[in-house]
Structure 1
Amino acid sequence: MQRPLVMAVSVAAVVIALAGCAAGPDYRKPDVEMPVTWQLDTPWRQGTPSDDQAKGPWWERFGDARLNALQQQAIDGNQTLAIAAARLTQARATANAASAGMYPQVGVSTRASRLRIAGNRPLTNYNSPNFATVQNDFALGLNASYEVDLAGRVQRNVEGARASSQQSAADFENTRLLLSADLAGNYFNLRELDVELDVLSRSIALQRKALELATSRHDLGATSGLDVAQQQALLDTTLTQVDVLRKSRAQYEHAIATLVGTPAPLFSLAPELVPMTPPAVPLGVPSDLLERRPDIASAERAMAAANAQIGVAKAAFYPSIMLAPSYGVDSRNIDTLFNAPSVVWSLGVSLAQTIFDGGRISANVDFAKGGYEASVASYRRVVLTAMQEVEDGITGVAALDRAYAQAQAAIVSARRVLDLANSRYEGGVSTYLDVISAQQSLLNSERQAAQLLGQRMLTSVFLIKALGGDWPDAQVARK
């Protein structure tokens, strides 16, 4: 009587012993060609970043309290980041659901019914009498099911789900990095326009003063009306530029409102001249990017997930084995439900094996392999793009530093030229056209310096984003 039970247990033990060899290749991170160092330009020198440090609030390096507050507001209220967080929650739940496949599924069932069995029901033996019967049926059972992971399908499925969950976590970090960089970029564009508007304001005051002087000299008969008309034309042109810059500033203001999760009509940033000095950014070796940048981490986890899918597809070549034991009680009278004669049980193994499918499984394996190859190419492309962005940032910051220093020198020269032109005009040595030209040259030089200042800030933001975020305070990057 115990022989069937012993045989079933023996079969189950053999099947479990055979399980453990997962189909498909084990994942190994592919090698990528990485240069030994960056192409550095003055005033850069190599730093030593620590890649296991958290990528913290890098925007605080700029020392702008308003920017810090906006960044926190964006983290709390940005809807794109909220979507990424929800996707991460879903991915983790999927990974947990996949992991549940590694364990038996246990359930309980119960039944209580009163039924009539027909007297004319089909018979298995015509010599047996047949009667209509009305009876009760009470049952209580405990059942379990467990898929023997003979080919590692469940294992590979769990590996893929976990890799996808980790990819979603990296995507979330990348979304947060892109959000903070986008917000900082729009903020510094807006503040750069505040500087330009201040330049225009001071230029307009200077040009109006010059217009008063030209008008007074014309009223005294010392100059012709041409001088007045030229100065008025310059003033009108400068006033036109104010409205153009205000339009651009409003657009950046609206973009910031959306990023921080506030309706644009309810958001405003008062004009302010804030100190804009980019921080010194440390540079490690190029291979640091493989650990620092969340988009590279996301691409690498996508490879791991795609590799696991090859194993899932290959596991279909092997039989599917299911253990499904059950134990319970069944009786027509509830008072005898738990008596020994009411006990029912079963123990067995089911096996299913595809014999012919017209090449469907092979096609699925080829599809999974193609997906993996695509993910490898995508990973290498992301790494190459990252190195390009860092090199662009390095050369851009160095070039803009030199250009900004030269622009400051140009402003000093333009002011000297304007002073000389005014003196020569008042002395009757030159025409008023020289004064107009000097005023325009000074305005252009000051606006160019303001624009270069904004570009320096934007390029620093771009470089920090390209390097993957914040760094420990112990690092020193530029002299």
Structure 2
Amino acid sequence: MRLRVISTALVLALAGCAAKTPAPPASSLQTPAAWRTAAETEQGAVVQAQWWQAFGDPALSALVAAALEHNGDLRIARARVAQYRALVGVAAAGQKANVFVDTAPTRTRQLAYNGVPYVTNVYQAEFQASYEVDVWGRLAAATDAATATYQAEQANADAAALSIAATVASGYLNLRGLDAQLALTEATLKLREESRDLAKRQFDVGYSSRLEWLQAQAEYQTTAEQVPQLKRSIFEQENALSILTGGNPGPVARGLELVQLQAPPVPAGLPSELLRRRPDIARAEFNLIAVNANLAATRDQLLPSFKLTMVGGVQNLKWHDFVNAPTALWRLTGAIVAPVFEGDRVQHQTDAVAAQRDQTVYAYENAVRTAFAETDNSLGALARLKEQAVQNDARRATAAETLRIAHNRYRNGYASYLEELDAQRTLYNADVGRLQLKTRTLVASVDLYRAMGGGWTARP
């Protein structure tokens, strides 16, 4: 009993030799009870892992699948996961015994005491086994730090995959919006051409002035100028999508038209649920676990380490005796190593890792706040875009009626062509606004699904 008491007191005394760890900062994170925007959510709707399929466009699904398989940045992220998985094995190896084998046959020619040279052969084979007893858990903490870092890299690769999928989906939807704008502009250009030709004929017969013909010509040229601009944007968008999918710049296959694409339903959820549904938050959490384990390993460097070493082997001066009846040699050593004075190096290292821990705490809180803001912004964007679409429908209806009246007045000679031209321009702008609102609503749905984690679930 006395020996146990002395041993316990000795362990406690040695444990007190560990470096002092500064206290972590108090958390300032507060989870809101609900989102600021009361969005129209659909009960039972959840964010699936392959959420992009909810748009119902096979071409979009094929693009995202190609990007997840061939994207260069994502392949780099997966290679980093493999790297850190291997580093876990490196850290875990420190908790196991190390065994080395050494064979060193030696032939020596030297002088005897009487000055006569002679040759000596020494045949020797030796193995050495060493093992560090992890009394304080320092090696286990280093393994835990490596494991958490590996898990953080896994979450980082998942976050990269989610970002790439959302970027491809947004790029494709923007591409379909540009396609729709180009089709509208080309159709409008044909109408402008007909109006210009009509104004030219009326000018030729003296029914209208040269000013009206020039105005029609200018409006035609203005519309024609937009066609190459849209084609350039489409060209660049196609190249960007091709690069994202791991290919060379080139055309992109299309699926549904813009008017056929429908935004998926808004899934219901609370802010607190978001903490387990975003890979970037999981990455920040694993980073915090890793730095805490690294802090424990750094703090315990001042504690003594216990190592057992065993050396064994065989030796003889003749090869025949070495093979058949060698002489066995062995040595068993137990060592206790503890730093006595290092100029407070370990304490300063501990303080540095503690400061790194504090930074990781703040980074985790920032990641959570960013997730809250992104989700709330996406919900607010969908709600405001829906309201804006209602006003756009009313504006377009008014513009269409204005054009009908202006056309009748111009045809019957009660107004100049300038009125009809202005009404045409107003209706065209309303139609362009409608297409842009449709595109922005679809992209906002992608942003919402990305903000809500894209159906991500933590790996076991």
TM-score, normalised on structure 1?
A: 0.86
Among 175, 179, 183, the alignment partner of 2:160 is 175
Q: Secondary structure of 2:179's match?
A: helix
Contact 1:119 1:133 in 2 (8 A): yes
Superposition map of 1:6-405 within 5 A: 32-44=29-41, 56-119=49-112, 133-264=118-249, 266-269=250-253, 273-274=257-258, 275-337=260-322, 342-405=327-390
Q: Bigger shift: 282-291 or 210-219?
A: 210-219
Q: Secondary structure of 1:277's match?
A: coil
Match of 2:436 in 1: 451
Q: Secondary structure of 1:337's match?
A: helix
Summarize the Cα distance change of 1:405–1:471 in structure 2 as closer, same or farther, 3 Å threshold: farther
Per-residue deviation, 1:312:
1.6
Q: Secondary structure of 2:268's match?
A: coil
Contact 2:142 2:294 in 1 (8 A): yes
Amino acid at match of 2:257: L
Contact 1:107 1:143 in 2 (8 A): yes
Query: In 1, distance between residues paired with 2:128 and 2:213?
Result: 100
Match of 1:10 in 2: none
Q: Deviations over 1:199-252 (max 9, x none)?
A: 111211111122222222223322111111111111111111112222222221
Per-residue deviation, 1:402:
2.2
Per-residue deviation, 1:119:
4.0
Query: In the alignment, is residue 470 of structure 1 matched against residue 455 of structure 2?
Result: yes
Match of 1:125 in 2: none
Aligned residues: 444
Contact 2:25 2:358 in 1 (8 A): no
Contact 2:41 2:266 in 1 (8 A): no
Amino acid at match of 2:86: A
Summarize the Cα distance change of 1:118–1:471 in structure 2 as closer, same or farther, 3 Å threshold: closer
Contact 1:194 1:272 in 2 (8 A): no
Q: Deviations over 1:372-420 (max 9, x none)?
A: 0000000000100010000000010111122123323322322221111
Match of 1:5 in 2: none
Q: Bigger shift: 403-412 or 442-451?
A: 403-412
Q: Secondary structure of 2:158's match?
A: helix
Q: Secondary structure of 2:315's match?
A: strand
Amino acid at match of 1:59: W
Q: Secondary structure of 1:102's match?
A: coil
Query: In 2, distance between residues paired with 1:378 and 1:211?
Result: 62
Query: In 1, distance between residues paired with 2:25 and 2:50?
Result: 30
Amino acid at match of 2:358: E
Q: Bigger shift: 146-155 or 187-196?
A: 146-155
Per-residue deviation, 1:117:
4.0
Amino acid at match of 1:440: R
Query: In 2, distance between residues paired with 1:271 and 1:338?
Result: 78
Per-residue deviation, 1:21:
8.2
Amino acid at match of 2:280: D
Query: In 1, distance between residues paired with 2:339 and 2:456?
Result: 55
5+ long unaligned stretches in structure 1: 1-13, 121-128, 473-479
Query: In 2, distance between residues paired with 1:161 and 1:130?
Result: 61
Contact 1:156 1:311 in 2 (8 A): yes
Contact 1:47 1:284 in 2 (8 A): no
5+ long unaligned stretches in structure 2: 1-6
Query: In 1, distance between residues paired with 2:98 and 2:24?
Result: 32
Summarize the Cα distance change of 1:350–1:267 in structure 2 as closer, same or farther, 3 Å threshold: farther
Per-residue deviation, 1:449:
0.6
Per-residue deviation, 1:109:
2.4
- Aligned sequence identity (%): 31
Report the aligned-residue RMSD.
Answer: 2.8
Query: In 2, distance between residues paired with 1:376 and 1:119?
Result: 72
Q: Deviations over 1:236-288 (max 9, x none)?
A: 11111112222222221111111011121x44456973422110121311112
Summarize the Cα distance change of 1:45–1:29 in structure 2 as closer, same or farther, 3 Å threshold: farther
Query: In 1, distance between residues paired with 2:376 and 2:331?
Result: 68
Per-residue deviation, 1:426:
0.9
TM-score, normalised on structure 2?
A: 0.89
